[in-house]
Amino acid sequence: MEHRHSIKDTIKSVILAILSLAWVYPVFMILFNSLKQETSITTGTAFELPTSETFAGLMNYINALTSQGFLSAFWYSLVVTITSVVLILICCSMCAWFITRVNTWYSKALYYLFVFSMVVPFQMLMFTLSATADRLHLSSPYTICIIYLGFGAGLAVFMFCGFMKSIPIEIEEAAMIDGCSPIKTFFQVVLPILKPTLISVGILETMWLWNDYLLPYLVLDRTKGYMTIPILIQYFRGSYGRVEMGPMMASIMMNIIPIIVVYLLCQKHIIKGVAAGAVKG
């Protein structure tokens, strides 16, 4: 029996390893092409490793950093991501706490409205959203977080409500007996318990916000130079519409690296938080 299990585990490991290579392969192709000369990318050798003749060093990265305003786009992407994630985590966790603790018909209706918002296609709203954002002066990287709060609230409230139901209400009652106000109870008692879900939701929202293209493209006022990195990438074009593939690949690589680093750093906190919650339960 143990021998059969070992064979099954080996087969599963091989299959998962092949699938992981299929997912990682495009990233390596972008990395290799970001180190090649422009002509070698566009002349049929895009799927080959860099050689001494095609290797361009860091020239593509230097051009990407200096030619199209990459640093300002990186700053705007950072501002949009951080402000939106913080706003989503705080507002949605408080909303989920209200929904799970106030057991009335309107709290249940509110919960189902949040869940329903996840199935509404963005294309149904994008033209109205663009006009509304312009009318309310939300077309800057410092105010677009309000729009992202609306779009990210569905998933965040759904996940927070699921975890919040497992928190014993006696903990909050004891805090209120000791004199804590509802706001103090939430931030000092409930929020620390929500750490695993906060990190999980934060990573999911960060990956979505950092890589989002359509919403910033519709909302941000590009006449003032407001561009995130996904928007900037399309501007690597030369004369007669020629695409500068080398700097484009370099900018894509520099866009990928931060989100991979964030995920790798936070992954262990997710595992620790889930394990701690399992032991307490």
Q: What is the pLDDT of residue 102?
A: 86
From its phi and psi, is residue 37 left (phi > 0), alpha (psi between -120 and 50) or beta?
A: beta
Predicted pLDDT at 279: 40
Look at residue 237 in the predicted model and tell me its pLDDT: 64
pLDDT of residue 267: 72
98 vs 192: CA distance, rounded Å:
16
What pLDDT score was predicted for residue 276?
A: 43
Take residue 37 and report the two structure tokens written for it: 């000369």
Three-state SS string across 9-54, please? Answer: HHHHHHHHHHHHHHHHHHHHHHHHHHCECHHHHHCCCCCCCCCCCC
pLDDT given for residue 270 in this prediction:
61
Ordered mean pLDDT values, 10 residues apiece, the chain (281 residues): 68 85 84 80 70 78 82 91 94 91 86 87 82 87 91 88 83 83 85 85 88 89 84 71 76 86 75 47 40
**Which position has the token pair 């092949």?**
18
H or E segment to which residue 95 belongs: helix 70-101
pTM of the entire predicted model: 0.82
pLDDT at position 277 is 42
Q: How far apart are CA 270 and CA 201, in angstroms?
A: 10
| CATH level 3 topology of 68-235 | MetI-like fold (1.10.3720)
Count of C-beta atoms within a 10 Å radius of residue 281: 6
Rounded Cα distance between 10 and 16, Å, is: 10
Give the per-residue pLDDT at 92: 92
What is the residue extent of each domain of the chain? 68-235
